[in-house]
Each structure stands twice: as C-alpha cells, then as structure tokens.
Amino acid sequence: MATASAPGKIILFGEHAVVYGRPALAVPVLQVHADARADLVTDKRMRENWADAILVEAPDIGLFSPLSALLADQTPHPLAAVIQKTLQHLGVAIPPAFTVTIRSTIPVASGLGSGAAVSVALIHALAGLFERALSDEQVSQITYEIEKLHHGTPSGIDNTVIAYAKPVYFVRGQPIHTFSVARPFTLVIADTGQAAPTKESVGDVRKLWEADKSRWEAVFDKVGEIVVAAKKAIESGEIASLGPLMDANHALLQEMTVSSPELDRLVLAAKAAGADGAKLSGGGRGGNMIALVQPESAESLASALKAAGARNTIITTIK
C-alpha cells in the first residue's frame, strides 16, 4: 500500500498572459489537498485484459470502475490517463491487480488546481506502490500531459507549482524558478460557486490576440511588468505594494474579458471591506478571487465575502 497527498494552488499574478510567454507567480495552498491511495490486491482470476484487474475509486464523484472501462472511450477518463501514463513511465508493462482510491477537498473547476493535484497525488502513490522514485520534474511533466486533456493548451503553472509544492516564478518553456517569501502575508480566497471553464476562457483570449496581436501583446507586457514588480516586493518583504498590483492585474484581466459579474462583485466587496487589493485567480469566468488582507482582519473579510455571495472562503498565509 502507498499513499500520497498534493496541495491546491492559486495564481497570484500573471494568468492568461503566461500563455504568451510572460511570467506568472503561483503558490501552493496547503489548506486544501488531493489524496491518493494505491493497494495491491490478491486476484487469481484469469483475465484477458490486465486493466480489468485495476479498480479506480473516487467516492467524492461517485466513481467506482475498472480501469478498462475508463480507457474504453476515444478520450480516456483523466484518472485512467494518469494511471496509464504513470505505469508507462515506470516501465510497468503488465501490472498486478491493484485498487486506487482518490479523495479531494479541492473544489473542482475553481482555479485551485484540483485536476493537477489529483494527478500529482496519484502519480506519487503509484510510484510508491511499485517502489520507484520520481523527481518533481518527472511528476510535473506527466501531470502536464494529463492537463492537456483538461485544458487543451495549459500554461503549465498548475502542474509545476503543485508538483514542486513551493512558490514558483513561472515562464513557459524556461527552467523552473522557486522564490522565497521575505515576510508572510495573508490572503482570503473566495469561491464564486461557478465553474471556471479554463479551456473556454483561454480559447477566447487567443481569439482576441489573433484578431489584434499588437494590442494584446502590449496588454500582456503590462501584466508581465506587474508580475516582476510583485516578485520583487514579495522577496524584499514590501507586502504593502502588492495590493495596488493586484488591483491593476485584475483590471487587465477584465480587459481580457475573463472576469465575470460574480468575480467583480466579490472584488468590489473585498475592497469595500478593507482588503489592500483583490483580483480574480485562475482562468476566470467563475472560480476564485483572492484578496490581500491584514491577518487580524482576515475573518471579518471572509464574512463580508460570504455576505456578498461567496460560496466558500479559505484563509491562507503565504510564507
């Protein structure tokens, strides 16, 4: 038997522009996590297909199925794809019978990296079951391949920050850079309760870019400048300067058409309740927003966001 866990994540700055080569900052959120368990089982029955002897259980979504059934569709179920790709990577051609069980406290389609976290946890559990070691880079790469099933052309942020479980300064196609937090700071994460269709919003931004590349390249440049300034502020402990940077980043995301009335309402409610800055986080059109707050005001800000319509809130300290 082997178990593994992986955290959620939030993007602090740079979403969408990161797809076009600009940097982004993302951090793990340890308050929510995906957990995976893999158990070898005794199965002496003769089977024509070894995948019939692998059972996949995800009680949170009511999934109890042999792997073979999940592989039967033209596009395999994401959990089946994780198992298949991981076994291939581990060099396990004909595995023994086993059961995998996946649970998660990360809201689905909310910008917290639920899909990538499940993949990372499951990959580690399978590696542990077969007593193999995988580097963070290998786990991230396998997860990225699965992310393509979810999002089409993912930025690579989710798999990176969750696989490494550290704050990450990310530029697509460049080596990973983790960064240090000089002074801890507190965020309130608020969930709109609406699914965030990342694939759709990424596709719509691409249509805008294709129609007027010079305009949107200039917008992405502005986002990139915000990200660089935010990284310097975090590394130097100048947390007060993050609030205005968050506000500016949100305004640019609104310009990209990836915000929503619900997100904007929560951003305005956070500011009215005393947040130093607020913005959507992730793909937009739903999912989560984040607000920078003084630690002593976090609970009252969370209450204000719930009163403004947030389904759930999470208070997290970035350090």
Q: What three-state secondary structure class fits 259?
A: coil
Extract the tokens encoding 262. Answer: 């619900």
* Confidence at residue 173, expressed as pLDDT on a 0 to 100 scale: 87
Convert the pLDDT of each residue in 87-143 to its tens digit.
999 999 889 999 999 999 998 777 788 999 999 999 999 999 999 989 999 999 999
| pLDDT score of 155 more than 80 | no
The fold for domain 2-170 equals Ribosomal Protein S5; domain 2 (3.30.230)
Q: What three-state secondary structure class fits 301?
A: helix
CATH superfamily, with its number, for domain 180-318: GHMP kinase, C-terminal domain (3.30.70.890)
- Listing DSSP states for 106-147 in one string gives SPTTSSS-HHHHHHHHHHHHHHHHTT----HHHHHHHHHHHH
Q: What three-state secondary structure class fits 27?
A: strand
Name residue, tokens 């005001």. Answer: 297
The yes-or-no answer on residue 247 being catalytic is no
Q: Which amino acid is at 174?
A: Q
Convert the pLDDT of each residue in 31-46 to its tens digit.
999 999 999 998 666 5
Residue 58 β-bridge partners = 63
**Binning pLDDT at 50, 70 and 90, where does residue 239 land?**
very high
| pLDDT score of 263 more than 60 | yes
Catalytic residue among 158, 191, 247, 276: 158
Q: How far apart are CA 136 and CA 63, in angstroms?
A: 28
pTM comes to: 0.85
**Angstrom distances, CA of residue 82 to CA of 114, 163, 164, 211:** 14, 14, 18, 36
- For the chain, the structural domain boundaries read 2-170, 180-318
